[in-house]
Amino acid sequence: MSSVLTSRQENYSQWYNDLVLKGGLADYSAVKGCMVIKPYGYGLWENMRDQLDKMFKDTGHQNAYFPLLIPKSFLSKEAAHIEGFAKECAVVTHYRLKNDPNGNGVIVDPDAKLEEELIIRPTSETIIWSTYKNWVQSYRDLPILVNQWANVVRWEMRTRLFLRTAEFLWQEGHTAHATKEEAIAETEQMLDIYAQFAEEYMAMPVIRGVKTANERFAGAIDTYCIEAMMQDGKALQAGTSHFLGQNFAKAFDVTFTDKENKIEHVWATSWGVSTRLIGALVMAHSDDQGLVMPPKLAPLQVVIVPIYNKKDTEATQRIDDTVAGILKELKAKGVRAKYDNDDTTRPGWKFAEHELRGVPVRIAIGARDLENKVVEVARRDEKTKETVSLDGLTDTIQNLLADIQSNMFNKALKFRDEHITKVDSWEEFVKVLDEKGGFVSAHWDGTSATEDKIKEMTKATIRCIPLDNPQEDGKCILTGNASKERVLFARAY
């Protein structure tokens, strides 16, 4: 119930946890850092997955599946890659349990030690490129446009539901190309798909950009990203698309014969988004009454609540019959709708519950409404209600859903744009970070050392160098050294 939510003002972090738990999206599990995704949260993920999957397939990608376990030696083949992932690897060392000879239950069987340890994939570049070696001989075998939906494990010490968990669900695209240009075009295309998905489906505006060397994926030449802004003024990286150059092809010796009969290393990309997007969606839109779901992804778009007078069985029947007709029409138009006629709870309780769960539209219908041929329609985003004619109700609802979707985007866009602040001095930089938050657009001298120092001093990182960034001469806010463009700093999830 909404009354038990912590408010954003009071404790943003607690508000988020309350929402995820009480909104029915997820639960803690008995395994440190791992979460249970509950049916409502998984329904949201299914809608996200299905839409992304369609976008991947429309651009020529196919799904495949590669092993969960990666030999330790594979992970080590690309130097930057192992450097980036070594500290968070779950390691399988044995393949059998046995009864403890001392009678203390079950123990790991010391005789079942693996010759080489296996790592639970933190990402699959190495196992996939070891496979691509067998799939590619000639330019005719390229491109390979493959995506995988999978679970991965990165042993994080500090975890947060959806935002940072030891195990998470994601998709990882891994493509192989004959030329550098084609691989870069793929990297950019997939970034555009992520941006389109975030904006059109999640109603969450994003900035497209390139990461600095410090924030680059371990093993990439360039990491492109989309960055979103949360309501507490912190940034959130929502998706990344990597141009890997020939790094993995060289590590796994994947070569092909080109049209001129020359042998070349293959060019690679990889790109991924994860269940982290659910955390982003929650934090971008929700309010102190609960979740606010964008209609295009909401597991349930419309809920209909009857206002019964139980003594009047005839009116009750009339309500049920009318709702049956409404539901049928809505479902025929592809609207995800449900009749909540559970008679063990009262309408007020249901209203609060559906508000908490962020159902975009609620329809309430009572005997007197019926006489007047109207229903009460409430929208979750603005928490407004109006009386609406039963005539043309399906059209009204469809228009309303579209309106909610665009209103949510516009609200988030306005907030985001109000939270990009240009600053030209260190004092201003720190003040904006501390008092206002959001993205701070500032000059930087281009060195990792300066970036590290700024991070150390303020906890802000460079979220990205936006694509199509205007070039202008300026001076680094920290060192005063010359700079050719502004970059976006923020504290981030």
By the rule CB under 8 A, 150 interacts with its own copies: yes
By CB under 8 A, name the one of 47, 130, 175, 289 that touches its own copies.
130
Nearer CB in complex with its own copies: 31/402? 31
Taking Cα atoms as reference points, which of 299, 331, 332, 55 lies closest to residue 200?
A: 55
Q: How far apart are CA 77 and CA 128, in angstroms?
A: 13
Question: Closest CB to its own copies among 86 and 352?
Answer: 86
Closer of 132 and 194 to its own copies (Cβ): 132
- 131 or 483: CB nearest its own copies: 131
Tell me the closest approach of the beta carbon of residue 99 to its own copies, in angstroms: 8
- Least distance to its own copies from the beta carbon of 120, Å? 7
Check residue 42 and give left, alpha or beta (phi > 0: left; psi -120 to 50: alpha).
alpha
Q: Would you count residue 69 as binding its own copies (CB under 8 A)?
A: yes
- Could you say which of 43, 173, 233, 272 contacts its own copies (CB under 8 A)? 43
Task: Kindly state whether residue 482 participates in binding its own copies, applying the rule CB under 8 A.
Answer: no
Stretch that binds its own copies, among 11-19, 123-131, 212-220, 386-394 (CB under 8 A): 123-131
Give me the least distance between CB of 254 and its own copies, in Å please.
13
Among 15, 16, 42, 201, binds its own copies (CB under 8 A): 42
Rounded to an integer, what distance in angstroms lies between the CA atom of residue 23 and that of residue 354?
Answer: 9
Taking CB under 8 A as the criterion, which residues in 71-100 touch its own copies?
A: 71-76, 82, 86-99
CA 70 – CA 154 distance, rounded (Å): 13
| Minimum distance, C-beta of residue 131 to its own copies, in the bound complex (Å) | 5
Question: What's at 489, amino acid-wise?
Answer: F
From the CA atom positions of the chain, what is the Rg in Å? 26
Question: Measured between alpha carbons, how far is residue 461 from residues 207, 420, 433, 435, 493 in Å?
Answer: 15, 15, 11, 17, 11
Answer whether the bond into residue 143 is a cis peptide, omega within 30°: yes
Contact residues for 386 (Cβ-Cβ < 8 A; gap 6+): 376, 377
Question: Which sign, positive or negative, has the C-alpha torsion 92, 93, 95, 100?
Answer: negative
Alpha-carbon span 153 to 28, nearest angstrom? 16
Binding mask 168-187 for its own copies (x = CB under 8 A): -x------------------
Q: How far apart are CA 176 and CA 143, in angstroms?
A: 5
Question: Does 161 help bind its own copies (rule: CB under 8 A)?
Answer: no
Q: Does 246 bind its own copies (CB under 8 A)?
A: no
Count of residues touching its own copies (by CB under 8 A): 64
Tell whether residue 106 is a contact of its own copies (CB under 8 A): yes
Convert residues 341-370 into a mask of x (bound to its own copies by CB under 8 A) and - (unbound).
---x--------------------------
**In whole angstroms, what is the distance from residue 347 CA to residue 323 CA?**
16
Residue 119 binding its own copies, by CB under 8 A: yes
CA atoms within 13 A on the CB side of 208: 16
Based on CB atoms, which residue is closest to its own copies, 118 or 375? 118
* Residues 6+ positions from 321 with CB-CB distance below 8 Å: none
Q: Which is nearer to its own copies, 138 or 214 (CB)?
A: 138
Q: What is the dihedral of CA 169, 198, 235, 78, to 10 degrees?
A: 50
CB 172 within 8 A of CB 273: no
Which two structure tokens, joined as six digits, stand for 408?
């949510």
Beta carbon of residue 170, minimum distance to its own copies (angstroms, whole number): 12
Nearer to its own copies, 96 or 368 (CB): 96
Residue 429 burial (10 A CB sphere; 0-12, 13-18, 19+)? buried
Q: Which is nearer to its own copies, 54 or 422 (CB)?
A: 54
Residues in contact with its own copies by CB under 8 A are: 27, 29-31, 34-39, 42-43, 45-46, 62-76, 82, 86-99, 105-106, 108, 117-120, 127, 130-131, 134, 140, 146, 150-151, 153, 155, 167, 169, 344
